[in-house]
Amino acid sequence: MPFNQTCSSTLLWRIETSPPSYIFGTIHIPYNLVWPYVPKEVRKAFMSSTHYYAEIDAKSYVFWDDFLLCIVNQSKRIERSTDSVIQDEILDVYLSVEARRLNKTVGSLESAEYHCKKEGWRHNLTTWIIILDYIKNTMINGTFSIDDIKHQINESTIKDYICNEIDSKYIKTLLETNDEMQHMEQRDEQISRHIHRLLNNSNNNRYFFAVGAAHMLGKRQNLIVRLKKFGYKITRICTYQKRIMKEFG
């Protein structure tokens, strides 16, 4: 242990199973802005895993077809490439591509049907077909551009994420209404139950769960609190690695 150095908390939690599994708090911005600067403990946990699960497997055309099936009660499956990475790939999606490249099992923690029921009311059928066709072409074929989400990127948020300083203030920027908080609580409950089912039947699998950092933070019944109720001992990992500030521009 380094002498007179502070071990700062990361956004990585270890589930003390045998073998251990991990939950990593992600952020929905291009991976090249943050992944090169995550602590080495995160990389080690990812590389040692046999299974990778994100909130949704955005590189799976099956997921988007199931979403469309839920909307229009029919599915049109189109074979698409799922093994390309582009410079501005979103962090969660980048990890999905890397997991496949490393021959890990890849899956979703949330179902297409769940998101369909929660989001389906926002648009009519014709609009949804257009939106989903766009999503499948951009996310799956690797043509998604940073310009599509640049308006959502905040420089201070990126720096806070790199320095492991995402906190309750970040949660408040995401959950501004009671309905949004209730939706988050519902998702936390469903994700915790899915993780528990996977761990309960793990057969010595080593899981790496990538979930939005907001799900693990805040003084509330967050994802970590809910998993502990199943009896899991969970440890937040700290690091002595110095954070390198990246200029965002």
- pLDDT tens digits, one per residue of 141-164: 655 444 444 445 567 777 778 777
- 24 against 138, higher pLDDT: 24
Q: Structural domain of residue 162, as residue ranges?
A: 8-59+82-111+153-239
The pLDDT mean for the chain works out to 78
User: What's the pTM?
Assistant: 0.79
- For residues 84 and 97, the answer to whether their CB atoms sit within 8 Å is yes
- 78 against 81, higher pLDDT: 81
The answer to the question of residue 228 being in a domain is yes
The answer to the question of residue 128 being in a domain is no
The answer to the question of residue 103 being in a domain is yes
Q: Report the percentage of the chain scoring pLDDT > 70.
A: 67
The answer to the question of residue 148 being in a domain is no
Nearest CA among 27, 111, 26, 19 for reference residue 69: 111
The answer to the question of residue 19 being in a domain is yes
- 72 against 194, higher pLDDT: 194
What local confidence, expressed as pLDDT, does residue 248 receive?
Answer: 42
Between CA 94 and CA 91 the distance in angstroms is: 5
Length of the chain: 249
The answer to the question of residue 211 being in a domain is yes
- For residues 201 and 161, the answer to whether their CB atoms sit within 8 Å is no
- 177 against 80, higher pLDDT: 177
Between the CA atoms of 122, 128, 131 and 136, what dihedral angle is there, to the nearest 10 degrees? 120
The answer to the question of residue 147 being in a domain is no
The answer to the question of residue 137 being in a domain is no
Q: Report the percentage of the chain scoring pLDDT > 90.
A: 34
- 232 against 246, higher pLDDT: 232
- pLDDT tens digits, one per residue of 92-102: 888 988 999 99
**pLDDT above 80 for 223:** yes
Q: What domain count does the chain have?
A: 1
